[in-house]
Amino acid sequence: MAISNIESILRHPWDYYRVPKSALGFYEASTDTDRADIVVAHSFGTLTGETSVNRLLADLALDQADGRPVAADRTLVNAIPDGDKHFDLVVEGPITNLVGQGVGTYGVLEQVRTFMEGRDLKLALMIAQRRHVGRVMLQAKRLGINSIAPANLPSQFEPGSMQLGTRSSAEWLMREVLGAPVLKYQKKL
């Protein structure tokens, strides 16, 4: 199994450059977000206060909902008062760590895929921190989820976050560059 992953890297090295590029905040924003039939919001770090990036992401997800179902992980849902009332799917579980343990982005997407299949939903609008959304969309594609992202996603980091990698741009880039091969090996990217 490890040999086939190494062979894949050697045959398709450009796949590994997509993650670092997205980790710098480059992603393809859709101008037609109304096409999506579900909104999926991903937390970034552990802070949930009024000025946190998770609050911005939760507010953006709810602003984009417009009658569509909204899915998010527990951290993001906790960023707004009475969060459970506003989300159709709340994914529970611990945040991910540096070796891919915990629910994390992929775990959220697995549950979203099941939710979408059960309701015949075809296109997800991904809401995530600007440097996170590119990997979110790559992982969604890996799971067979068609997705788009809006323009102007928040780009702030959370210096007080307990999740390593979400506190600064330098930490995030290191996390993504070192984490991409781990996620590839785990078949999550």
134: Cβ contacts below 8 Å, ≥ 6 apart = 18, 19, 21, 22, 23, 26, 27
pLDDT for residue 15: 54
Q: How confident is the model at residue 10 (pLDDT cuts 50, 70, 90)?
A: very low
Mean pLDDT in residue range 27-54: 96
In the chain the domains, ranked by start, together with CATH numbers, are 2-185 (3.40.50)
Residue 82 is classified by DSSP as T
> Can you give the pTM of this predicted structure?
0.88
Write b or e for each residue in 130-168: b if 16 or more Cβ atoms lie within 10 A of its Cβ, otherwise e.
bbbbbbbbbbbeeeebebbbbeebbeebbeebebebbbe
Q: What is the pLDDT of residues 67-79, one digit of tens each?
A: 999 999 999 999 9
Residue 160 and residue 186 in contact, taking contact as beta carbons nearer than 8 Å? no
Residue 125 is classified by DSSP as E
| Structure-block tokens of residue 143 | 């799971």
Q: What is the pLDDT of residues 86-130, one digit of tens each?
A: 999 999 987 765 555 667 899 999 999 999 999 999 999 999 999
Q: Mean pLDDT for the chain? A: 88
| Structure-block tokens of residue 189 | 């990217």
pLDDT > 80? residue 18: no
Burial status of residue 36 (CB atoms within 10 A of its CB: 0-12, 13-18, 19 or more): buried
Percent of the chain with pLDDT over 70: 86
* Cα separation, 135 vs 163, whole angstroms: 17
* Cα separation, 105 vs 22, whole angstroms: 15
Residue 62 and residue 80 in contact, taking contact as beta carbons nearer than 8 Å? yes
Residue 40 has φ and ψ, to the nearest 5°, of -120, 120
